[in-house]
Amino acid sequence: MITEHTESPEPYGAPVSRAGAGSKIELQTVTKIFGDGPMAKLVVEECSFTLEPGQVTVMVGPSGCGKSCIAFLIAGYERPTKGKIVLDGKAVGGPSWDRLVVFQESALLPWLTTYENIMFGPKARGFNKKEAQDRATGLLERVGLRDFRDKYPPQLSGGMQRRAELARALINDPKVMILDEPFRGLDHMTRGLMQEYCGTLFEEASRTTLFITTDIDEAIFLADRLLIMSSLPTRVHDVIEVDLPRPRVRQEVLLDPHANQIKERALGILHEEALKAFAGGSKASADFIDAYMKRREGPEA
Amino acid sequence: MNSLEHEAVAPAKQLRGGISIRNVSKVYGSGRSSFMAVDSCSIEIAPGELHVIVGPSGCGKTTLLNAIAGFHSISSGEIYLDGELLCGPGKPQAAPGADRVVVFQNGALFPWKTILDNLTYGPVIQGLMTKKDAQNLARERMATAGLSGFEDSYPGELSSGMARRVEIARALLNDPKVLLLDEPFRGMDNLTKSIMHESLLQIYDRNEVTVFFITHDIEEAAFLGSRVSVMTTRPGRIKETIDVDIPRPRDYRVLTSDKFLGLMGRIVDAVADEAQKAFEAGERELA
Amino acid sequence: MKRKMAGGSALLRGIIGTALFIGLWQVGTSLDSWTGVSLPIVAQLPPPSSVLDAFLPLIRSHGFWSSAYLSFVRVFWGFMAAMVIGIPFGLLMAVNRTAKAICFPVFEILRPIPPLAWVPAAIIFWPAPELSITFVTFLGAFFTVVINTVGGAEQIDRRFLLAAQSMGADKRTIFRRVLLPATLPSIATGAVVGMGITWQVVVAAEMISGGGQGATTGGGGGLGFLIWNSYLGGAIPKVVVGMIVLGVLGYASSTIVRIMSTKLMPWNRAI
């Protein structure tokens, strides 16, 4: 079933699954410079790529804030210094429900329960309360947190927090989901489970998704396409199609020879880029970028 | 020249640093609130071996490491180092010593000292050598670890990966018999981790030292280890010890070789149900 | 179970510690009458026994209680004013850059001035002595509350704001549902610390200003005044009684503030 997407008013009860349709995001020679004058830092340099409709695109690259920066640019928290970001033909503006981010560390509001966190978006946008409640309950069930709806975030384990955040994003039915290293810091076991979980979710929804990670196995398991990124300043180094059949089982993918070929190819590039990042990137510049992205003023409304 | 290029031939290794763990158990607490962290573990580690203990979080791996290092006592069993008793009946806790050095998870470098000063601090303070000798030795060690040029930098100026390398170099300064590493690369992103792995292996290949490495990351275990012991969830028992017969020097290309994949499969099977149990136990604790 | 035991033994240790303290105090002050050896400073203090002797008549005197009440009232109004004015003021500066640019420099210049230095100015500018003392008390807490509020609001994790914006929250919703709750812990800290400061300030203000109302009408003039007066009159044990009562009242009020702030943040309790 294909549904139309308009900016407003938004048909709230629109079905989640949109096989074949979906939104397309294009980055057109995007450049981003943090700070100015002598402290200016070139973080993204003439980066161009497309997030194909309905596909999961995974961005892999050495750590350093280039990938997160791109996520922030797509989400609208930062504006490109040069170049354009286009969603379905229109230039992207400030933060909006149609491009939702799941951050690296939990951004669940600690003073709200799981249920209240999930309901935050619909409440803020003034949606029909009953519909939203039903939807929230459904999502809680879907992510396996029904018994934890009245708990506060610190009472949830890392994996549960991530699932809660997914539910919180999904209830708003965004056109594009951006997940920025969402499993970072989780222990091995939880991480594996979350990967499988997300894999299923993505397969069900066919939503345009950008997933960022440094774990190549994770990337190959989830991706329809891989974007191999360079070290700072960030650009797309390579694009690799991951044409493994779906649905995918994690253990099988780990041992699959075709997946292994992709991994070999990707590792070669990544290793080189990681070495450059390791040797060249000083802590001072990484700290600067980090501090810049954490500063308090939000985007100019 | 890329500091991570390997030398053509590794130097011949002396036969020291062999560890023998026999039926070691550790019980915490007493009476009704007691629990067994480690249950009758036995491992034989050859001198110069890089032995990895892999298992889910909280299974008692650290307890074993601490027992060897002398930070914890054991409840029963014995641990020998090169034939000498470290701890056992009548001597429940080993004495910590410079022959068994630990590299901790969280940085232990003095932020107000330069890297060189950090490295020379220990030996000079203990009166083991003059400052000049210590500095020369430190420079040598840093070169081995690919850290030349950072002598006058401060820890705050280094990325965490580099700082970790410095700590490893510092640990090796006095030629210990055993290097004990407790999840040293935990929390690092995968790409930095793989670079650290190569660093560690390079350092290992160039030094005569036994390495006792703990992790919950299976790929890390298989990539680094000469032999890998799989530990069960609490109470920790050694389920299986697997030989990793992949030749050294190893680099990242090993990760995609068939042999490695087969090995991973074996370890994954051994670990899988244990990890699931630990995970469920953890989730239940929160419910 | 373990926690209960720890609590019990902590209480026991507290009691033992206090008893030890009083014991040493008694010994220190009585030493010269027992052995002829007199300790340099300690010997000048009134022994606990004489403090106890002074305690009972004071407790029964009406003047004492009206003093305590006076001090309490000044603290109460000063603190409430500091909260009612300080919190919105702090929040305003946190959300509005222009407001901060205008107000903060002046605020920061005034802040280092000790509240007590304000006493003469307060006496001159306020019509009634009560208002002067309460004003000084207010100042004591005000700066702390504002600084903590502003600091707390500015240190919010940016991602909370970003997430809320992405989910379509407008500025008012963000203020009400994100900024305020996130700043509450800092405001609570400001309140607890501010409360402690008000007691310190009120006592000194009373000493300096001559007790305000009540001093002349025999109503007592506040605990600070009482202490100072007792000192001038040579009734040192009364001084110590006053000090002890102040300590208890200060502790009690800080605890009340802390309990109330905990009630406002149920999510912290859940941990």
Neighbours of chain A (3+ CB pairs under 8 A): B, C
- Which of A32-46, A55-69, B1-15, C12-26 bottoms out in mean pLDDT, i.e. has the lowest? B1-15
> By the 8 A CB rule, do A288 and A39 touch?
yes
Mean pLDDT of B131-156: 85
Of the candidate CATH numbers 3.20.20.70, 2.60.40.3500, 1.10.3720.10, 1.10.1740.10, the domain formed by C48-270 belongs to: 1.10.3720.10
Neighbours of chain C (3+ CB pairs under 8 A): A
Q: Between chain A and chain B, how many beta carbons pairs sit less than 8 Å apart?
A: 89
Q: Pick from B158, B159, B216: which is nearest to A187 by CB?
A: B216
State whether A189 and B191 contact (CB < 8 Å): no
Interface residue A276 vs chain B (CB under 8 A):
no
Task: Look at residue A191 and tell me whether its pLDDT is greater than 70.
Answer: yes
Is residue A47 classed as helix, strand or coil in its secondary structure? strand
State whether C181 and A301 contact (CB < 8 Å): no
Where do the structural domains in chain C lie, given as residue ranges?
1-45, 48-270
State whether A111 and C173 contact (CB < 8 Å): no
Higher pLDDT pick, A66 / B59: A66
pLDDT in tens, C40-68: 777 777 888 888 888 888 888 887 888 88
Query: Does this complex have an ipTM over 0.85?
Result: no
Query: What are the chain B neighbours of A287 within 8 Å (beta carbons)?
Result: none
Q: Pick from C159, C168, C171: which is nearest to A121 by CB?
A: C168
pLDDT in tens, B21-53: 999 999 988 888 888 889 999 999 999 999 999
pLDDT of residue C90: 95
Interface residue A286 vs chain B (CB under 8 A):
yes
What string of DSSP letters covers B185-211? TTT--HHHHHHHHHHHHHHHHHS--EE
Q: Pick from A61, A189, A271: which is nearest to B278 by CB?
A: A189
> One-letter amino acid identity for C69?
Y
Query: What are the chain C neighbours of A102 within 8 Å (beta carbons)?
Result: none
Task: Look at residue A62 and tell me whether its pLDDT is greater than 80.
Answer: yes
Q: At what angle do helices A129-142 and A158-170 cross, to 10 degrees?
A: 140
Mean pLDDT of B260-282: 77
Interface residue A187 vs chain B (CB under 8 A):
yes
Give residues with Cβ within 8 angstroms of B193, minimum separation 6: B185, B220
Length of chain A: 301
End-to-end C-alpha distance for chain B, whole angstroms: 55
Q: How many C-beta neighbours within 10 Å does residue A191 have?
A: 19
Query: What are the chain A neighbours of C271 within 8 Å (beta carbons)?
Result: 152, 154-155
State whether A107 and C159 contact (CB < 8 Å): yes
pLDDT of residue B144: 75
State whether C169 and A112 contact (CB < 8 Å): no
Taking all residues of chain C, what is their mean pLDDT, rounded to a whole number? 86
Model pTM score:
0.79
β-strand partners of B76: B25
Query: What are the chain C neighbours of A103 within 8 Å (beta carbons)?
Result: 159, 162-163
Query: What are the chain C neighbours of A156 within 8 Å (beta carbons)?
Result: none
Taking all residues of chain B, what is their mean pLDDT, rounded to a whole number? 84
Report the relative pairing of strands B210-215 and B178-182 from DSSP bridges.
Answer: parallel
Nearest CA in chain B to A63: B189
Q: How far apart are CA A171 and CA B42, in angstroms?
A: 52
Burial class (CB in 10 A: 0-12, 13-18, 19+), B256: buried
pLDDT in tens, B79-94: 999 988 999 888 888 8
End-to-end C-alpha distance for chain C, whole angstroms: 18
